[in-house]
C-alpha cells in the first residue's frame, strides 16, 4: 500500500493506492509515500483542515480519517453512533464518552502533529 498526494493551486487530494498502481494527475505536485503518518503530515502541511473533525453523530466507514483534537485517526471498522453505548451522564457524571481516542479497537491514531513538534523541539537543544 502507498499513499499518493497531489496538490496545486486550490487543490489537494490524498488517496491510498495498491502497490504497482500509478496515478497520473494534472496537479503541479505529486508525491508517493509508503508511510501513512508521513503522508498525513504532508497533507496537513498543505491544509491543516483537510480531514474533517470527528462528529459523534456521523457514520464513518472503515478507512475514513478524521481529526479529533490535534490528532488524525483512521476508522478500523464501520462506526456509527449506534455502535457505542453512551453513558447516562446524570447517573454517571464522570463516565467516559466514547471517542476515537479511547476506542482503539475501532480507531487507530495515525498522526499526532504535536508529538512531531515536541520531538523536533527536544532535538534542537
Query: What are the pLDDT digits (tens) for 72-119?
Result: 999 999 987 666 666 777 777 777 777 888 887 789 999 998 865 544
55 and 19 inside one domain = no
pLDDT at 118: 47
Whether the per-residue pLDDT at 51 is higher than 90: the answer is: yes
Domain that holds residue 37: 1-50
pLDDT at 3: 94
The residue to which cell 488524525 is assigned: 72
pLDDT band at 26 (very low <50, low <70, confident <90, very high): confident
CB-based contacts of 31, cutoff 8 Å, min separation 6: 4, 5, 6, 39, 42
All three cell numbers of 34: 509508503
22 and 37 inside one domain = yes
SS3 label, residue 122: helix
56 and 16 inside one domain = no
Q: Which of 16, 35, 50 is the last residue of a domain?
A: 50
Total of domains in the chain: 2
64 and 12 inside one domain = no
Q: Which is nearest to 37 in space by CA: 123, 115, 121, 112?
A: 112
Amino acid at each position: 500500500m502507498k499513499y499518493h498526494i497531489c496538490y496545486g493551486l486550490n487543490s489537494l487530494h490524498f488517496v491510498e493506492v495498491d502497490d504497482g498502481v500509478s496515478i497520473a494527475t494534472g496537479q503541479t505536485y505529486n508525491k508517493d509515500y509508503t508511510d501513512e503518518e508521513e503522508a498525513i503530515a504532508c497533507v496537513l502541511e498543505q491544509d491543516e483542515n483537510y480531514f474533517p473533525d470527528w462528529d459523534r453523530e456521523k457514520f464513518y466507514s472503515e478507512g475514513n480519517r478524521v481529526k479529533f483534537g490535534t490528532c488524525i485517526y483512521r476508522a478500523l471498522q464501520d462506526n456509527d453512533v449506534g455502535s457505542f453505548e453512551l453513558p447516562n451522564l446524570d447517573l454517571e457524571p464522570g463516565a467516559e464518552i466514547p471517542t476515537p481516542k479511547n476506542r482503539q479497537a475501532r480507531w487507530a491514531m495515525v498522526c499526532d502533529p504535536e508529538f512531531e513538534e515536541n520531538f523536533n523541539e527536544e532535538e534542537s537543544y
